[in-house]
Each structure stands twice: as structure tokens, then as C-alpha cells.
Structure 1
Amino acid sequence: MKLLHIDSSILGNDSVSRTLSAEIVARQVALHPSIEVTYRDLASEIAEHLSIGHVAVRHGAAVEEPGLLGDIKKGDEYLDELFDADIVVVGAPMYNFSVSSQLKIWIDRIVVSGRTFKYSDTGDIQTLLPTSKKIFIASTRGSAYSAGSPYAALEHHESYLKGVFAFLGQHDVTVIRAEGLAFGPEAKNAAIAQARGEIASISA
């Protein structure tokens, strides 16, 4: 069994999403002691934004930009890791109502026509990934954006991630959320404690 652990926060040791994603991984290791973990810190080793050069090379053009071949190789590694993983744990802080740009780059490298999905002749989407993966999202937010919040309409974060994974045929998605982290120490500690309780209750 293999687990892919993705972190995308730029806050280093001060990141709550990093703390929670690590604890989700630790819980999975406790449940599956022989599991093999691959870790990607997207804040420190992220690929480049897609460019016309990437598209051209994918269509058979010669590599002209310095470093482009290595960057394409990194994107291929992201794909290989996703295909190999039975469990995917994503640390996903909300930045300006959505995911971090670092996580968006990773998504751009794994949502690839002909690799992870394809269109049928009638326009239907067909996933090329095994659909049995378990996805865990460690979601963190400074404010509150859940249903019923006055800011719920600005939530393009968890809904986006769940949409991406659903597009790729992945429907076993668990969100561990800590929000309201900017509401003061008491609210922050309560949100983290609630998330940790949910992590402790993960049974598979």
C-alpha cells in the first residue's frame, strides 16, 4: 500500500494545514504499518506554471527553454506518484477564497487529457485513474466559509478540490477542516482540537 502526502502551505512550521496533514498521515501509518509514504512539499519544490513551451513539447516540438525538460519530468513524477498511491493526503490552506497557487500548479500537472482522463466521442469524461483511491484533505481557513456562513458564497476551496477529484473519478474524499483560525487563540485552538478529534476517529 502506498500513500502520497502533499503539503502546499507557505507558512512552514506555523502552518496548521501542515500539522493536520502530518497527523492524518500518522493515523494512516498507525492503521497500516507497512504503508509506503511519498512526500511532496509544494512550497519548496514546486514545478513551474504551465507555458506555451510545455504545450509545444507535449505536441512534439523541440525543447528550447532552459530547464523545461527537467520541469516536464517533474510533472511526470507527480503523475506517477498519483497513479501509484492508494491514499492521497493533501494539506490545503485557503488563500483568497481558493487553493494556494502552489497546489494549483500540482493540479494542472495531474489533470491531463490523455493521462488521467479522456473525452469520449460524445463528450463524456472517462477517468484513466484507478477509482479506488482514498483522498483526505486537511482544509484550513482563517475565516468561516461553511454552509450558513455569510461568506459561504466565497468558498472556492474545498468545493474546487472535491470537484477536481470527482472529475478524475475519485469520490472517496474526506475533508478534515479547521476554520475560523484567525478569530483568536481560543477559536483557533477549538478548531484544531475538533479536527484532531476527527483524525483520531479515522478507521481506515
Structure 2
Amino acid sequence: MTTILQIDSSARRDGSTTRALTDRISARLGGAVTRRDLAAPLPQIDEAWVGANFTPEADRSEAQKAALALSDTLIAEIEAADVLVIGVPIYNFGVPAALKLWIDQVARAGRTFRYTEAGPVGLLTGKRAVLAVASGGTALGSEIDFATGYMRHVLGFIGITDVEVVEAGRQMVDADAAQAKADAGIEALGRAAA
């Protein structure tokens, strides 16, 4: 059975477009769904976290292991998933701070990517991601959309290159058109392989 990791990053629990879209996308794809709600923000990485991450695993103290425990859990959620369904509301032209905190926890040298002489190599390969991107006025894919391209880049950096976008952009300009585009995007998604 396909395993889906659904990540919701909207600050709004009620009335959120991206939360409604991620629910619909997960249902469309089918499979077992694990949910990660970022409305209660994750902690920022700090000096202790960075120091722990750059200490070889065999040499980490108990405090260093504790500093990385949440990151280990979040990465394990990705590792266990076949498909990531990520809600990406555009706040002030970029991703919400809550989503950036998640990215900082999971983009980890030696765990989800490594550097080689040829450049960085993502370690979380063989996965698919579907982004549910919504905005009030930002045209998706435009020069002021700093969220969609960023998410594609970050996911590719950790090895997830099969990325699709379901978009509901410019809702405050034309809500009906935004909804129709999102509906068509969900309809076009193929079901996850069983």
C-alpha cells in the first residue's frame, strides 16, 4: 500500500485553501496517510543543533542526540513515505515560516543530502511530491513567486525530483478561476502506485 506524508503549513486550520487541497489530493492518490501539521511551529535550528549535526553520529553525546531527535523523526516520516503532499500557501511572496522551519529540520548534511566533488547529491530518492500551492494575489510561476521554485529546488536538493504542482493562485483576483485550476490539477493527478 502507498504511504502518503501530508504536510500542512497554513497558519489557518479553518478555511485554509491549501489544507482543503492537501486533503483532496491525498484522497485522490489513495493510500495510508500520515499527517504532519505545522500550525504549531517547530523549533528553529540553533547552535546546539548545528554542532550535533556536524558531530559524527558515533561520537554524539546524549544532549546532541536529543537536539537532533525531532529532526530524526521528521526525516523518518519522509523516508517511510512514497508520496509527499505539501500544502504551500504563499505568504508575502514566499513559503510560511512554519514550512521553512520544517525544511531546516529535514535538509540535513549526511542524512538527506551529501556533498561530492560533482556537487550535492540528494539521498531521499524514489519519492514523488505534490505541492498544493495557493496565493491571494501572486501569480504562480511569476517573478514574484518565491515559493514554488524554492520548494522544487529544496525537494530536488534532498533527492525528490518528481514534483507536481496543483495551483490555486490569485484567489483574491479571481476565486472561481483559481478553484477551477486547482480542480483540474487534482483531476489530472494519477493515483499513486499500489
Normalised by the length of structure 2, the TM-score is 0.88
1:104 counterpart residue number: 100
Q: Judge conservation of contact 2:140–2:167 (CA < 8 Å) in 1.
A: no
Alpha-carbon shift at residue 51 of structure 1 (Å): 0.6
How many residues get paired? Answer: 185
Stretches of structure 1 that go unaligned for 5 or more consecutive residues are 30-34
Alpha-carbon shift at residue 194 of structure 1 (Å): 2.0
Secondary structure at the aligned position of 2:63 is classed as coil
2:157 counterpart residue number: 167
1:11 counterpart residue number: 12
Alpha-carbon shift at residue 171 of structure 1 (Å): 1.6
The superposition leaves residues 108-143 of structure 1 with CA deviations (integer Å, 9 ceiling, x where unpaired) of 1111000011112x25212222x2211100000111
The superposition leaves residues 55-90 of structure 1 with CA deviations (integer Å, 9 ceiling, x where unpaired) of 2333335639xxx93x63222111001111100000
2:49 counterpart residue number: 54
- 2:162 matched to 1:176? no
Q: Judge conservation of contact 2:6–2:86 (CA < 8 Å) in 1.
A: yes
Match of 2:148 among 132, 155, 158: 158
2:179 counterpart residue number: 192
Identity level (%): 31
- Distance of aligned partners of 1:142 and 1:61 in 2 relative to their CA distance in 1, 3 Å threshold: same
Q: Report the Cα distance in structure 2 between the residues aligned to 1:125 and 1:194, rounded to whole angstroms.
A: 35
1:41 counterpart residue number: 37
Stretches of structure 2 that go unaligned for 5 or more consecutive residues are none
Question: Which one is further off, 8-17 or 163-172?
Answer: 163-172
Instruction: Give the 4+ runs in structure 1 shifted more than 4 A.
Output: none
Q: Report the Cα distance in structure 1 between the residues aligned to 2:189 and 2:52, rounded to whole angstroms.
A: 43
Q: Report the Cα distance in structure 2 between the residues aligned to 1:62 and 1:72, rounded to whole angstroms.
A: 10
